[in-house]
Amino acid sequence: MDHNSWIAVYTFIGMFGMLAIGFPIFICMLTGAFVGSMIIGGPIYTLQQFASAPYSIASTYTWAVVPFFLLMSVLASNCGLAEAAFSAATKWIGKIRGGLLMATIVAAAVFGATSGASIATCAVFSKVALPELLKCKYDKTTSMGVIAVSGTLDGLMPPSVGVIIISILADTSIGRGLMAIIVPGLILALMFMLVVSIRGWIKPQDMPIVDIHSTWKEKFVVLKVLGPVLFVIAIVIGGIFFGVYPPTVGGAIGSVGVLIVAAYNRVGWKAIRESFIETVVLNAQIFPIIICGFIFSRFVALSGLPGDLLGLITALHISKYVLILIVIIFYLLLGCVMEFMSMAIITVPIIYPILMAVGFDPIGTILIIVLLSEIALVMPPIGMSCYIVASISKAPPEQVFRGIIPYLTMSFALLCLLVFFPRLATWLPDLLYGKAITF
Partner 1 sequence: GKKADQGQAGKAETEVIKLKFSFSGMPTEPPAQTAIHLLDLVEAKTNGRIKIDRFMGGSLGNTLEHLDLVSKNAVDIISLQFDQFPENLPLHQILNTEQLVTGEQAFANITALTQEIPETKALLEAEETQNNIKVLSWNAQGSTGITTSYPAQSLNDLKGKKMNVIAGYQRDVFNELGIIPVNVQIPDIYESMSRGVIDTIFMANSAVISLKWYELGKTHLSLGDNNVCSQALTFNLAKWNSLPADIQQIFIDASKETAQWSIAEATKIQQDTYNAFEKSGVTIETLPDEDRTRFFETLFKYSTQNWLEVCAKKGVSDKAPVIQKYWDEMKWGRWSKQESGL
Partner 2 sequence: MKDLILGLINLTTKVNRWLVIIAAVGIAFIMVINFVDVIGAKFFGMSVPGALDITEEVMVLVALFPIAYVCLERGHFNITLVRDRMHPALRFVVEIIQYVIAALVSGFVTVRTFTQFQTTISTMTLKEGIDLPIWPANLATVISFAFLTLVWLLLLARTLVTGVEMSIKKEEMEQ
Residues that bind Na ion (CB under 5 A): 112, 154, 157, 160, 335, 376, 379, 382-383
* Using rule CB under 8 A, residue 64 touches partner 2: yes
Collect all residues with Cβ–Cβ distance below 8 Å to 345 and sequence separation of at least 6.
Answer: 165, 169
Buried b (16+ CB within 10 A) or exposed e, 82-92: bbbbbbbbbbe
Nearer CB in complex with partner 2: 24/131: 24
The option from partner 2, partner 1, Na ion, none interacting with 214 (CB < 5 to 8 A, set by class) reads none
The site map against partner 1 for 269-298 (x = CB under 8 A) is ----------------------------xx
Contact (CB, 8 A) for 138 and 93? no
Does 61 bind partner 2 (CB under 8 A)? Our answer is yes
Stretch that binds partner 2, among 51-59, 111-119, 178-186, 305-313 (CB under 8 A): 51-59
For residues 123 and 66, the answer to whether their CB atoms sit within 8 Å is: yes
Residue 48 CB, nearest approach to partner 2 (Å): 9
Candidate ranges 52-60, 77-85, 198-206, 408-416; the one touching partner 1 (CB under 8 A):
52-60
Best CA proximity match to 279, nearest among 79, 130, 74:
74
Stretch that binds partner 2, among 106-114, 171-179, 250-258, 305-313 (CB under 8 A): 250-258
- Name, in order, each residue with C-beta under 8 angstroms of 402's C-beta and a sequence gap of 6 or more: 141, 145
> Judged by CB under 8 A, how many residues of this single chain contact partner 1?
46
- DSSP label at 96? S
Identity of residue 231: F
Which of Na ion, partner 1, partner 2, none does residue 241 bind (CB under 5 to 8 Å by kind)? partner 1
Q: Which of 175, 146, 151 is nearest to 400 (CA)?
A: 146
Q: How many residues does the chain have?
A: 439
**Separation of alpha carbons 269 and 416, rounded Å:** 51
Residues that bind partner 2 (CB under 8 A): 18-27, 30-31, 34, 47, 50-52, 54-55, 58-61, 63-64, 67-68, 71, 239, 244-245, 249, 252-253, 255-256, 273, 276-277, 279-281, 283-285, 287-289, 291, 381, 387, 390-391, 394, 396-398
